[in-house]
Structure 1
Amino acid sequence: MASGLVPLSVITASASLPETYRWLRETWGPVAGVELEPGVNAWLVMGHPEMLELVRNEWVFSRDARNWGDYRDGVVAPDSGLGPMMFYRPNVIGADGMEHRRLRRPLDDALAAVDQRQMRRAVERTCQDLITAFIHRGHADLVSEYAQIVPLLALAEESGLNPQEGRDLLETLAALFGSADDAQEGNRRFEEILARLIRARQANSANDVASSLVRHPDLRSDDEVLQSLVVLISAGQQTLSAWISRALWLMLTDPRFASRLRGGRLGVDEALDEVLWRDPPMTHMPARYALIDTELGGQRIARGDALILGLAAANTDPRIHTDAVEREIGNRAHLGFSAGPHQCPARTPARLIARVAVEQALHLLPRIALSIPAGTVTSIPSPWMRHLASLPVTFTPTSDTALNPSVR
């Protein structure tokens, strides 16, 4: 692979991702060399058919990071910042083949058993409680005060945690994903809260996700139950928060959607779909590792090479994408949830949570508007996501008794 590669984090932070991907395609084709950190390179898969080949052929491209040559050979340091997203973990994310199927079934079964109507009511209550806390002010940050909190509290409740435990979990995840000095302590506390929940459900089963996982015959140890909960909550919180934030930004700034607030034709579901097409929560998803020397998209892939899933790039592949946005309304053939055996298992509850969160903010905050120019909204630096750093809004101040009569 050539030297002087563009860092993946620079690509993610591009002012115009489609333009950046267009340049990369002209230079490399559908599979481009990128830099993950100094001295550590990977392949960014940008082509739609190449992406499907990558994620469906697990006998050539493994999800198990123990097959990553640069890590095995010591090129990647054990304390690398790439660790939290790319190093091996003993859970469903890091497994292939029959082992992956065994660990995936409990998640699929637990999520299929979720009562959608009950979940909707619970998410509505959560949204209303959060909005009650700031509606009297007339201004708020819909990322830190809303979009970051709704998914975790919703997932925590479905898992079997009470509201206070959900908020404790939020604090631990903030430390974990912050990758600062308290990250390891945050991870320890995060798993400790979930381990207490598992012990409680082993003693007294309930109608929740944790109980379903505890009872599932395919999970062979307490640690496998714990890791299943870790995947469900941590992955869901980050991606859902990004999805909700981007959809709110679109509804407030794009005339096609902003007009919906005044009776226009495009609504929340269309905004959610457009985000998944044009700015999916995971811009670049790690990773697959080549098990043999092979070829993909005209590039020679060596055994042990890391390949990054360019989900946003594949959605803009000119072989399957046009600039006619109206043709994509209602089209859910995007790769926002990935594809293949590791496709997101929580697509249905994720959309429910995101839709309710966006609807409630738009419905309950009178005359809501972005309080800064749309072009000045920034993202949190990351090679993987374009998560909005903040979304400051103003609205007509309202007494919180309008949402919560019990405070009278």
Structure 2
Amino acid sequence: MNPLPLSATTTCPDTRPVFDRLWRDHGPVAPVELEPGVHAWLVMGYEELKTITGTPRLFSRDGRDWRAFRDGAVPPGSPLGPMMSFRDDVTGHDGDEHRRLRRPIEDAIAAVDHRRLRRTVEYLCRGLIGAFAGRGSADLVAEYAATVPLLAIGGLIGFAPRQSRELRDALRARSGSGEDAREGDRRFEALLGGLLAERRERPADDAASLLLAHPDLRTEAEVRQSVAVLVSGGNHTTMSWIAQTLRLMLTDPRFAGRVRGGRLGIDDALDEVLAIAPPMINMPARYALRDTELGGRAIARGDALVLGLAAVAHDVRAHAGSQFWQRGNRAHLAWSAGPHACPARDPARTIARTAVATVLHALRGVRLAIDPADIEYEPSPWTRRPARLPVTFTHADPGGAHGRRPGHRP
């Protein structure tokens, strides 16, 4: 049996039959194909995921330990490179070096003022809504979800809105594993370098300035890579979280909330998306440092193991055969686990919740303009995000779209 292409888990109309088939045929660890001829393991079991994320002495985050890359099966220009090759930053190291590089990022996140962030995001959202309010229709991905996180995160980092939009385009190319992935990566790095050069001359109250002054970051390259992690780690995943939550709110009567009187609300929808269809449903990667066994599979030294953060919801061993998501349940692995678990879940939730609430409150009579079965998904092996969410609405009240800026005192 040929391994299933990993992208089949992200672009299919419904992930449930795909993951059920993988579990039925392979158990908690399934062979998959990353690109033609390049194989990996998709780790879907709850305990197996906790093992590989919590045992860095056996499962490395360092892409230089990937046998397929060392042996030339994955060429240097492969679209897999931006997400799976070694990066000399917090994501590419384990142990003491990882902890040293993680501290500045945690400090930058801890410095976020959530009330200020919420006001800023609401202001940005109302401005975006104002741009399409008079039409009676919009694409809530291209015109909204794809822009909100980068504008918000870009502002925290120190970018102007125009630069944040350039970053968005570069990141989209970089994480899509398409032909333009390398060019997106190059442009992304250039934009970050320009920001840091400016902040070195003129420090400000932003994350870039904080990281430039942080004692744990020893070189210019470490500062740049730390900013890159904050931007790329927060943008694409939060974008997907917003888009998937809007999809759920618009298509599932349980979650219609204010839209059509559903019994569950925005926080419930945000949590179900994290549990069932997290922003990054397949997270790259860990690399076996020696021959070992995992979930009944013989794992060879240098094998790549992809974290199945959505497939774990189908592990009946962990969930006792019950529906994985229940109201208020946040016992999922959407943020990964272990030393590399995402540290930015709180600001991400502030951005996502504010974005979803603002647009649903502003658009009256909003409805999806296509059959839910016709929703298509972006071509990426890592994320599952609607490519479009076309909607119609009877009236829009963007409110303060052109009113007071955040922090204005009347």
Length-normalised TM-score, structure 1: 0.94
1:342 lines up with 2:314 in the alignment: no
CA RMSD of aligned residues (A): 2.0
The whole-number CA distance in structure 1 between the counterparts of 2:166 and 2:274 is 30
Question: Which residue does 1:23 correspond to in 2?
Answer: 21
DSSP 3-state at the match of 1:74? coil
User: Residue 48 of structure 2 aligns to which amino acid in structure 1?
Assistant: E
Deviation, structure 1 residue 198: 1.4
Q: Give the conservation status (yes or no) of the 8 Å contact 1:136–1:400.
A: no
1:275 aligns with 2:273: yes
Q: CA deviation at 1:404?
A: 2.7
- Structure 2 partner of 1:45: 43
Q: Give the match for residue 352 of structure 1.
A: 350
Residues 1:228 and 1:4: Cα distance change in structure 2 (over 3 Å): same
Contact 1:260 1:266 in 2 (8 A): no
Q: Secondary structure at the match of 1:271?
A: helix
Work out whether residues 59 and 289 of structure 2, in 8 Å CA contact, stay in contact via their aligned partners in 1.
Answer: yes
1:164 shift after superposition: 2.5
Amino acid at match of 2:376: T
Q: Relative to 1, partners in 2 of residues 1:166 and 1:299: Cα closer, same or farther, differing over 3 Å? A: same
Query: Equivalents in 2 of 1:257, 1:73: separation in Å?
Result: 49
The equivalent of 2:193 in structure 1 is: 195
The equivalences for 1:122-133 within 5 A come to 122-133=120-131
**1:95 equivalent in structure 2:** 93
2:295 aligned with 1:314: no
SS at match of 1:34: strand
Task: Quote the Cα distance in structure 2 between the aligned partners of 1:85 and 1:326.
Answer: 29
Kindly indicate whether the alpha-carbon contact (under 8 Å) linking 1:137 and 1:397 is maintained by their aligned counterparts in 2: no
* Amino acid aligned to 1:16: D
Q: Percent identity?
A: 54
Instruction: Give the secondary-structure state (helix, strand or coil) at the position aligned to 1:32.
Output: strand
2:153 maps to which residue? Answer: 155
Q: Distance in 1 between matches of 2:144 and 2:330?
A: 26
Does 9-18 or 318-327 show the bigger shift?
318-327
Structure 1 position 248 matched with structure 2 position 243: no
Aligned partners of 2:162, 2:385: CA distance in 1, in Å?
26
Amino acid aligned to 1:84: P
- Residue by residue over 1:227-281, the C-alpha shift from the partner in whole angstroms, topping out at 9 and shown as x without a partner, is 1111111221111111100000101110111144344431111000000111111
Structure 2: gaps of 5 or more residues: 405-410
TM-score normalised by length of structure 2: 0.93
The residue aligned with 1:293 is 291
Which aligned pairs between 1:362-377 and structure 2 lie closer than 5 A? 362-377=360-375
Q: How far apart are the structure 1 equivalents of 2:262 and 2:179?
A: 48
Q: Deviations over 1:347-406 (max 9, x none)?
A: 000000000000011011111110111111110122111111100001124486874358
* Matched AA of 1:352: T
**Residues 176-209 of structure 1, C-alpha deviations (whole Å, 9 max, x = no match):** 4455665544433322222222123223322211
Q: In structure 2, what is the Cα distance between the partners aligned to 1:178 and 1:34?
A: 18
| 1:378 alignment partner, SS class | coil
Distance 1:372 1:155, change over 3 A: same
Tell me the number of residue pairs that the alignment of Structure 1 and Structure 2 aligns: 404
Residue deviations 1:27-54 (CA, integer Å, cap 9, x gap):
2221111121222111111100010001
Call closer, same or farther: CA 1:115–1:405 in 2, change over 3 Å.
Answer: closer
Give the conservation status (yes or no) of the 8 Å contact 2:377–2:384: yes
Distance in 1 between residues matched to 2:242 and 2:22, nearest whole Å: 29
Give the 3-state SS of the residue equivalent to 1:281 in structure 2.
coil
The verdict on how the C-alpha distance between 1:175 and 1:289 changes in structure 2, with shifts beyond 3 A counting, is closer
The 1:372–1:81 alpha-carbon spacing in structure 2 relative to 1, beyond 3 Å, is same
* Maintained 8 Å contact 1:135/1:398: yes
Deviations 1:310-362 (A, max 9, x none): 11011221112367559621111101111111111110000000000000110
**Distance in 2 separating the partners of 1:136 and 1:186:** 34
